[in-house]
Structure 1
């Protein structure tokens, strides 16, 4: 299994992802420059967090048109795996690979802290090995993370088991009080209807190394590897 991390101008979590996968998970990973058209034979494409193109216009709106996104879209349409984290999630919604949109946080402030999320289903690749009754502590760092979609889209996400994570308490309780950014249905991550493209706002790559004091994010990468390497 070969992973590729796309690097856009303004990405600042690309190396975090590379380290989490190469050192933390002992997997092959390469960086892919946004101007290239070559995915270098990667099986799993990752779009990292950061502020691609300075987040001008809307977060992800410009990077969606980077040359390599043509290859990423084709890879996804062929059934290849793609995952976007934070800014990467925003890029995937702008590219139409994931439903919905990420709006400004309800409090109009940038949020940078550890939060808790719980898997809504175990029928998605990143949640396959997770416990739906457990809260996972994962860092967030975003100003535009409020998930929004129309009623029909939200219903489809629920009916098709596409909601990946929701914000919760450290005891895995859910409710508006634990909704850090105003996301509809407390959504912290979703998949596409084919369940090969995933997006989440929290940063699991920042919760892999024990030296950071938190390894809850490791379970998400282990879940991905368990099925892909089966």
Structure 2
């Protein structure tokens, strides 16, 4: 669990990891060692105050050099909201996240459709499953050139899609994508806020964290 200056969803993500049955190992942006973790979560927030561009400075942090190298060797990596922005800025995922259509901050519960249940972070779902999770972001509109979008669609690398249309204007209603190997996933909505009916709109987000636990245990 990586914390950058300005991260604010790391505690929630760590709780989701523990609810799935794993240990949440804290990592700091200045670390040069992943401490032997089996997977990495890059949580949401406003790393470095979103200066320059959301996720741009964080993508250059020492810990992200380690994440990029380890992801290339197959380590599962999940980026949520600002974490998704960071993964795109680090070129672990294609495209970019830009200001929402209408230039407004969005905060609402919405439904995602699972498009790819074969990644390290989605294998506990079935294709077509519907997940009720929160969205809260200012720069959450996913964009990419037409060739990249066609490639993502053609290779089945769209993992989550906004069921009722993207309120932020994301291209092709894309809410989350994966790399070709399926170990790196980024999504704009917040599954870590949907792991308990007591504190969230549902428990639908828990599957991301149970999926990676099984994947790292060789059961996924």
Please classify the TM superposition score into its range, dividing by the shorter chain length. over 0.9
Per-residue CA distance 1:89-120 (angstroms, 9 max, x = gap): 00000000001100100011011111110111
Matches within 5 A, 1:185-196: 185-196=172-183
Structure 2: where are the runs of 5+ without partners?
none
The residue that corresponds to 1:199 in the other structure is 186
Q: Residue 12 of structure 1 is aligned with which of 8, 15, 18?
A: 8
How many residues are treated as equivalent by the alignment? 217
How far 1:69 sits from its partner (Å)?
Answer: 0.8
- What is aligned with 1:175? none
Q: Is the 8 A contact 1:165 1:187 kept in 2?
A: yes
Contact 2:110 2:134 in 1 (8 A): yes
> Can you list the C-alpha shifts for 1:9-47, whole angstroms capped at 9, x where unaligned?
00000011111111x112111110100101110010110
Q: Structure 1-normalised TM-score?
A: 0.91
* Structure 1 residue corresponding to 2:50, chosen from 52, 55, 76: 55
Deviation at 1:123, TM superposition (A): 2.0
What is the aligned partner in structure 2 of residue 172 from structure 1?
A: none
RMSD: 1.2
Classify the secondary structure of the residue corresponding to 1:106: coil
Which residue of 1 is the match for residue 111 of structure 2? 116
Q: Show the counterpart of 1:215.
A: 203
The reply on whether 1:228 has 2:212 as its aligned counterpart is no
Aligned counterparts of 2:157 and 2:210: Cα–Cα separation in 1: 20
Structure 1, unaligned runs of 5 or more: 170-177
1:123–1:161 contact (8 Å) kept in structure 2: no
Distance 1:139 1:209 in 2: 12
